[in-house]
Amino acid sequence: MFSGKTEELIRRVRRALIAKQKVQVFKPAIDDRYACDQVRSHNGMGIEATPVTCAQDILRLTEADTAVVAIDEAQFFDHDLPRVVNRLADAGKRVICAGLDLDFRGEPFGPMPTLLAIAERVDKLVAVCMVSGEPATRTQRIINGQPASYEDPIILVGAAETYEARARKYHVVPGKPQ
């Protein structure tokens, strides 16, 4: 988190719009942190989006003349997302996905490993560690001021009040199997 993934997705969508390409943006319906019908970055940038409950909805709602399909918070989608993304790409659409590759436990998150494997291009953005200022590739979930346990639920939608960016050596997960 806090690496600028959504901000980069919005930037790419805006460039496609400047190029007069038809764009559709989708987000998981469970992500209602800022607005139900917008993708918004932590710094306040936003763009209109369609909330959906599953990957298949993206395929169903994508219009024939759409050139670019953007999907935010891809890690929250079901494991059908890579198949949907492949179908869209095979139909000639440019697909842009943004999401976390690792969950708060430091393990591959949802459909992201498969999406990373099938992508033509991957840009891995990193945040700044809240402890050391080093590059941060992990997301530390904080519950009542303490690191969340390995046994806590994987999905918990939140922002700065619940998560911190951490470098590997400062990422702590109590109860994580060695």
Give pLDDT, residue 158: 63
Give pLDDT, residue 159: 61
The residue to which tokens 């591959």 are assigned: 108
Mean pLDDT of 152-170: 85
Question: In the chain, what are the helix, strand and coil shares in percent, each to the nearest 5?
Answer: 25, 25, 50
Mean pLDDT of 35-47: 76
Q: Looking at 73, 107, 120, 151, which residue is catalytic?
A: 73
Percent of the chain scoring above 90 in pLDDT: 79
Domain ranges of the chain: 5-118, 127-170
Confidence check: pLDDT of 33 > 90: no
Q: Which of 1-5, 45-49, 126-130, 162-166 has the highest mean pLDDT?
A: 126-130
Same fold for the domain at 5-118 and the one at 127-170? Answer: no
Which 8-state DSSP code applies to residue 12?
Answer: H
Task: Give the CATH number of domain 127-170; options: 3.30.60.20, 3.40.710.10, 3.90.1150.10, 3.30.70.3280.
Answer: 3.30.60.20
pLDDT class of 178 with cuts at 50, 70, 90: confident
Q: Does domain 5-118 have CATH number 3.40.50.300?
A: yes
Mean pLDDT of 107-113: 96
What is the distance between the alpha carbons of residues 124 and 145, in angstroms, rounded to a whole number? 28
Is 73 among the catalytic positions? yes
Give the length of the chain.
178
Residue 149 CA: distances (Å) to CA of 16, 104, 111, 112, 145:
41, 9, 22, 22, 12
Confidence check: pLDDT of 161 > 80: no
Q: Tell me the pLDDT tens digit for each residue of 60-100.
A: 999 999 999 999 999 999 999 999 999 999 999 999 999 99
What is the distance between the alpha carbons of residues 81 and 74, in angstroms, rounded to a whole number? 8
